[in-house]
Amino acid sequence: MRVFRYPSPPPSSITPHALWLSRRDLLAAGAAAGLVGGILPSRAARAVDLAAQPGPLSGEGLKPTPLRDVTHYNNFYEFGLEKTDPAERSGDFHPRPWTVRVEGMVAKPRTYDIDALLGRKLEERIYRMRCVEAWSMVIPWIGFALRDLLAEVEPLGSAKYVAFESVVRPSEMPGQGGVLPVLDWPYVEGLRLDEAMHPLTILAVGLYGQTLPNQNGAPVRLVVPWKYGFKGIKSIVRIRLTDRQPRTSWNVRAPDEYGFYANVNPAVDHPRWSQASERPIGAGGGFFGASRQLTLPFNGYGEQVAGLYAGMDLRRDF
Amino acid sequence: MAARRGRSAGLIRLALYGIGLVPAVVSFVLGATNRLGADPVNTFERTLGLWALRFLILSLCITPLRDLTGVNLVRYRRAVGLLAFWYALFHLSAYVALDQGFDLHTLLADVTTRPFIILGMVAFTILSALAATSNGWAIRRLGRRWKALHRWVYAAAICAAIHFILSFKVIRVETLLYGLVVAALLAFRVYRAAPRRAKAPPV
Ligand code: HEM
């Protein structure tokens, strides 16, 4: 796999060399589970290389958006409203130690340590990402299918939905303490169980070959490539199976603008702008490099997912 | 003496146009050479809109400034107002040409169905009418009606301020501050226009 440079000091500059080498060996051996945390300075947010197999579900012919843009053009309102805020203001955020609680209507509720998640068999998935604001990227995520995790906790027959909850840490996330209430914290999201079990739905722990930078939702986030980006809740601390449709942050904030489903749909406009087309980010060339491109139904994943919504009126359930 | 003052006022006006256009030129050059961030078209479009609103507000500050402090900059008001118009025109052009790529279908849907865009368009239409009549000839031709026409600048400012507030997914402090300034300027206008009592209390 190609190795990408990450704009932060290499681990070799902060860890005694012998330890660093042994950590690399461990990672390479895929035996990082439970050990990485012990070797790293406990709360370090340094990027670590991840070993991942290219997944069969990566889109074909997709050219990834440059790393610089993927990590410096973000909507992550916990860190501020500007696209540049997450990169600039997430330096105090500690993505470890970290646990994710999986509970609710399951036979075996469990708490996963982030190192256990990083130690799973990871896949690279190159996905399109379409923001509800009519821009898009292509991102090489690293993660694992959410369905594999859910299978381990054994959802009960009564479970119909999956609710996700993000972290609340105003001391580390300056956007959570703003003057005007932006969203109700914690950020919450939800999926129907069959959406959550779809093989395209992943929990991402990295991108571009390394652990997730803080501004992209470290240490673990949801990626549902056929839905608008805001469904991809970041910095997840809780996953709960339930029989009721969960509240979702943007839907609570503006129900006429952001639906529960939020499937990418060029035929259903946002009240304030058209969703028919999108501006690809990072095409280069300034004004004249990137022209708009047409937005695809289900963001181009219709073949795989349209069946989930058979018989539904997607104008009403937008 | 008067001639000299007239000439220096002319120079200042020229300088005002020159300086006023700097943000547009700088962000155009940055955008054209791919140095305007990850989403150059949107950044450019928004920069131009914001400066249009700023100059519009500045043009409304000139009368209150004179009335409250005695500093008289009225002779530069037209230049500031025209800058607001030019920026609004650039902003609209960036939207039509760079952002939407002259896609008439989308543009038509936007200006007919989206209140956010309609407000911008109303503001722009007013600014165009005001810019077209910002010359000696129009002032002479229109006489008293000129003043009445140019009071519409307040409607333009209100529409533009709401357009600004609505241009984001959430309500932002800075957009409310702009709105507040417009409201205060309008309140001042209304207050001044109200018939005076015999002895108005000191303000
Ligand atoms: C036909 C006329 C207009 C159209 C179609 C229009 C369109 C737009 C659009 C599409 C945006 C947001 C871009 C985005 O979604 O990110 C925007 C933002 C904005 N517009 Fe306009 N606009 C118009 C007129 C005006 C006028 C006359 C003013 C001010 C005098 C103005 C001030 C602004 C401001 C301040 C913003 C936000 C800038 C920022 O983000 O800081 N617009 N406009």
Interface test with A, best of B96, B169, B170 (most A CBs within 10 A): B169
A78 is in an annotated binding site: yes
Number of structural domains in chain A: 1
User: For chain B, how long is the longest CA-to-CA vector?
Assistant: 63
Q: Please give the pLDDT value at position A37.
A: 40
- Divide the 203 residues of chain B into consecutive groups of 10 and give the mean pLDDT of each group: 71 93 96 90 96 98 94 94 98 95 90 93 98 94 93 97 94 95 95 71 55
Instruction: Say yes or no: CB of residue B124 within 6 Å of ligand 1.
Output: yes
Contact assignment for B34 to A135 by CB distance below 8 Å: no
Q: Is B91 in the pocket of ligand 1 (CB under 6 A)?
A: yes
Strands A210-211 and A135-145: unpaired
Chain B, 20 to 79: residues with Cβ < 8 Å from chain A are 30-42, 44
**What ipTM was predicted for this assembly?**
0.85
| Parts of chain A with a pLDDT under 70 | 1-45, 290
**Whole-number pLDDT of residue A164:** 98
Look at residue A153 and tell me if it is in a domain: yes
Closest residue, chain B, to A132 (C-alpha): B169
SS3 category, B183: helix
How many H helices and E strands in chain B?
Answer: 10, 0
**A258, A274, A275, A277: best mutation site toward chain B, by most B Cβ within 10 Å?**
A274
Residue pair B161/B179 in contact (Cβ under 8 Å)? The answer is yes
Name the token pair of A37: 């945390």
Domain carrying residue A136: 50-309
Pick from B34, B37, B99: CB nearest A285: B34
Tokens, residue B191:
């207050």
- B38 and A290 within 8 Å at the Cβ level: the answer is no
Name the residue of B59, B163, B174, B181 whose CB sits within 8 Å of the most ligand 1 atoms, as the mutation to test its pocket: B163
Report how far ligand 1's centroid is from the alpha carbon of A219 (Å): 37
Q: How far is the CA of A125 from the centre of ligand 1 (A)?
A: 37
**So where are chain B's domains?**
2-191
Atom of ligand 1 lying closest to residue B96 CA = 5
Q: Whose CA is nearest to atom 22 of ligand 1?
A: B120
Interface of B with A in 137-196 (CB under 8 A): 166-173, 176
pTM here?
0.86
The pLDDT value recorded for residue A52 is 85
Q: Please list the alpha-helical segments (H only) found in A65-124.
A: 67-72, 85-89, 114-118
In chain B, whose CA is at the least distance from the CA of A178? B173
CATH of the domain at A155: 3.90.420.10
| CA distances to A274, A283, A301, B7 from A135, in Å | 11, 12, 17, 50
Query: What is residue A29's predicted lDDT score, i.e. its pLDDT?
Result: 39
Q: Relative to the CA of B50, which ligand 1 atom is closest?
A: 35
| CB of residue B48 inside a 6 A radius of ligand 1 | no
Max CA distance (Å), chain A: 60
**Cα–Cα distance for residue pair A209/A200, rounded to 1 Å:** 19
> A284 and B34: CB-CB below 8 Å?
yes
Ligand 1 centre to CA of A318 (Å) is 26
What is residue B4's predicted lDDT score, i.e. its pLDDT? Answer: 67
Is the CB of B83 inside a 6 Å radius of any atom of ligand 1?
no
Phi, psi (deg, nearest 5) at residue A124: -90, 130
Convert A252-270 to b/e letters by CB count within 10 Å (16 or more is b). eeeeeebbbbbbbbbeebb
B51 in ligand 1 pocket by Cβ < 6 Å?
Answer: no
Would you call B170 and A284 a contact, using CB atoms and an 8 Å cutoff?
no
A81 vs B101, B114, B172: nearest CB: B172
- Two tokens, residue A185: 């914290």
Confidence at residue A6, expressed as pLDDT on a 0 to 100 scale: 38
In a domain, A284, yes or no: yes
Asked if the structure places residue A1 within a domain, the reply is no
Of the candidates A204, A251, A220, the residue with the CA atom closest to the CA atom of residue A101: A220
Please check whether residue A34 lies inside any domain of the structure: no
Rounded CA gap, B92 and B102, in Å?
11
Q: Rg (Cα) of chain A, in Å, rounded?
A: 19
Which residues from A are below 8 Å from B166, CB to CB? 272
Instruction: Confirm or reject: Cβ of B157 under 6 Å from ligand 1.
Output: no
The alpha-carbon gap from A219 to the nearest alpha carbon of chain B, in Å, equals 24
Q: Is residue A298 included in any domain, yes or no? A: yes
Residue A8 lies in a domain: no
Distance B45 CA to ligand 1 centre (A): 7
Residue B169 CA to chain centroid, in angstroms? Answer: 23
Partner-chain residue, chosen from A73, A274, A290, that has the shortest CB–CB distance to B109: A274
Atom in ligand 1 nearest the alpha carbon of residue B124: 27
Contact residues, chain A, for B109 at CB < 8 Å: 269, 274
Distance in angstroms (rounded) separating the CA atoms of residues A101 and A103: 6
pLDDT of residue A188: 97
- Work out the end-to-end distance of chain B between its first and last CA atoms, rounded to an integer number of angstroms: 36
What local confidence, expressed as pLDDT, does residue B3 receive? Answer: 62
